[in-house]
Amino acid sequence: MACLLMRPAISLPRILNVSPRLMLSRGFASQTVPLAYDRHDPPTSSPSGPKPPIIFMHGLFGSKRNNRSISKVLARDLNRTIYAVDLRNHGDAEHNEKHDYTAMAHDVEAFVQDHKLGSVSLIGHSMGAKTALTVALQSPDIVENVIAVDNAPVDAALRADFPNYVRGMKKVEDANVTKASEADKIMSEFEESLPVRQFLLSNLIREPGSPQLKFRNPLSILASSLDNMGDFPFKNPDEVRYNKPALFIRGTRSHYIPDEVLPVIGRFFPLFELRDVESGHWVISENPEAFRQAVVEFLQEKE
């Protein structure tokens, strides 16, 4: 869901036009896809020179638009350029049958390489958090620090909400609706919360020449990939660690980072810090100011 903070900054919508290619990492190959992105520049340049840019990643069924307002604020407060990206099968990014954290991490690594960003800070919420953590463990040389919002580097089944969302979204498409109100009426059978429904329905588009609304997400691909979204590709913290700063922000009313997984986090990310924010799982939209403070304090301390 979109953050409500609005501050002035430069926003440049872009999409990287490169052909899919193979990314090699740790002995396996993955076809990467280009990531669509919005670039948010700080209003003034840093007197001490350019700072590492930030890549901001959304959660499942989200897009770069969800992080637009908070990205502008963070670009101003941190005096850094922020790339809010659309991960594969979301927003304006290309679709691909393979949808897991290893593949999404390779997309981000290719994005850093193709844009010649050098070393970056990563921020990700939910699915984006696990993607960011995978990049940090997989390619630590390109990651200055990482911020994971309400997700952890462990295997954990998704809540039943997400399969339910997919069923509702498929029913919307099958109904060939032409109005958002019609789609919302159907989705209300599957989700009581109006803000959550609005978040999901923000993915509806009307294709040229058609009166019908369809979801920009490939629902069949995401439906078959829900188990992957609960998994984490690295299982043994004795084999791989990220020995740079990491911040985990969790919602106090969310279950995604329970206390019992903190020892596992500490083994994968021995320099991690934990910050609790009064919210549910949708930390950034439910409590944007507390989220902003946590990010700014953490990154400013690392400069």
Please identify every residue annotated as catalytic.
Answer: 126, 281
Q: How many other CB atoms sit within 10 Å of the CB of residue 249? A: 27
> How far is it, in rounded angstroms, from Cα 278 to Cα 255?
13
- Identify whether the C-beta of residue 200 lies closer than 8 Å to the C-beta of residue 187: yes
Amino acid sitting at position 13? P
Q: How many other CB atoms sit within 10 Å of the CB of residue 284? A: 31
Token pair in block for residue 33? 């896809």
- Identify whether the C-beta of residue 149 lies closer than 8 Å to the C-beta of residue 125: yes
Radius of gyration of the chain (CA): 18
Amino acid sitting at position 4? L
Measured CA to CA in angstroms, residue 55 lies from 35, 66, 160, 278 at distances of 11, 14, 29, 24
> How far is it, in rounded angstroms, from Cα 50 to Cα 192?
45
The helix/strand/coil state of 28 is: strand
